[in-house]
Structure 1
Amino acid sequence: MDNLYKIESYSDEAVNTIADFIRSKGGRCCIAGYAVITNHPFREREAWRLLPLVGKVTDSLSDWDISQFEELSAPVAH
């Protein structure tokens, strides 16, 4: 598994915007409160768009954070 990290923000709208952006780039993520848990590698030219929405970024994840990512970021089977 790639390195997971958590992007903390300040509102539902902000975390949804961050998650939508990650998914639009083919990345995997899940929303946990006012945070997005992901392993998406941002490119420098992409990051500036989301920077105003970011409160904090950390790679200090709990077991719960990791389990949420594994459960909620899996692609939906059709």
Structure 2
Amino acid sequence: REANKERITTPYMTKYERARILGTRALQLSMNAPALVNTEGETDPLQIAIKELAEKKIPLVIRRYLPDGSFEDWKVTELETY
């Protein structure tokens, strides 16, 4: 199916999305992907990923599936975190 044109889901990142995004990004960083923030001597990939999320620098997209089979794509930078 195709993406919904008008978004109906919440603009807030869920705790499950946050966990998946941080895990995915930390894995990328551990595989020598370039960090998009100043690491200031930090070597732990998860801590770097958390800093990237706080600064809205993670270049990933979350796909939210809806009950009717359609979906919405949200850039991580568009979502509010808490």
TM-score under structure 2 length normalisation:
0.33
Q: Which entry has the higher C-alpha Rg, 1 or 2?
A: 2
Greater strand share, structure number: 1
Structure (1 or 2) with the greater helix fraction: 1
Name the TM-score, length of structure 1 as normaliser: 0.34
